[in-house]
Structure formats: C-alpha cells, structure tokens
C-alpha cells in the first residue's frame, strides 16, 4: 500500500491529515496515538503514533510528518510513504515583518555607505 500526504502551515499534521494519509478512521488514529489521560505528554513509544508536545491537555493533537511516516512504515508496514511539506501563503503579519526587514536592511546599507 502506498500513502501520500500534503502538509501545510506549521509543518505539523492534525488528526484529519493523519487520517487521510494513513487511510484510517478517526477512531483508529486516536487508538494508535500515544495519549494517556493521566499524563499530558507520555514518554515516546515506538509502537504508537507519538504527537508533538502539548502545553495543555485540551490542545489539539498535532503530529510531525516524520513521525507519521515512521509509524506508517514501522508499525503499519506501509511500504512507500511520501509526505510533502508545502509552504503556506504568507500571512499579513509575515508580509509586514518582511517589509520591516527590507527597510532595516536598506537603512543598514545606507549607514554603512556613510561611514
């Protein structure tokens, strides 16, 4: 079985993306996930799908693409796993920061010329 997924935004996958990638039900993804009601971030378990660290127990489960690929290959025995990380379009905040950076760089170059 081959599986492929596209990952956007912060490079992490939510339950829906993992579900689509592994072609499994939402319930089975939760069953595979390394979660524990008594511990916020249980220790790494190579036989489970390990989510990224969370600050609060109510935080959404997010998974790194490499962890999803490892789980698919090692545990589910899926032979070919391809996870492509795509860059999300810039947000207005990122665009503003880019403009500020460009302005600071031009000021720096001008000051360098004058000294």
Q: What is the per-residue pLDDT across 17-55, written as a single tens digit (0 to 9) for each?
A: 899 888 899 999 999 999 887 888 999 999 999 999 999
Decide if pLDDT at 3 tops 90: no
Mean pLDDT calculated for residue range 10-14: 82
Residue 82: other Cβ atoms inside 10 A: 12
Q: Which of 79, 80, 75, 82 is nearest to 28 (CA)?
A: 75
Q: Which of 105, 104, 16, 114 is nearest to 68 (CA)?
A: 16
**pLDDT given at position 6:** 47
pLDDT, greater one: 52 or 7: 52
Q: Residue 84's beta-bridge partner residues?
A: 6
């Amino acid at each position: 079985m081959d599986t492929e997924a596209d990952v956007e935004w912060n490079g992490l996958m939510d339950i829906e993306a993992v579900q689509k990638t592994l072609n499994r039900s939402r319930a089975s993804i939760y069953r595979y996930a390394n979660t524990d009601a008594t511990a916020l971030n249980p220790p790494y378990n190579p036989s489970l799908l390990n989510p990224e660290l969370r600050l609060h127990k109510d935080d959404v489960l997010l998974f790194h693409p490499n962890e999803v690929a490892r789980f698919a290959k090692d545990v589910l025995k899926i032979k070919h796993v391809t996870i492509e990380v795509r860059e999300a379009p810039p947000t207005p905040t990122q665009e503003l920061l880019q403009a500020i950076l460009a302005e600071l760089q031009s000021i720096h170059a001008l000051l360098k010329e004058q000294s």
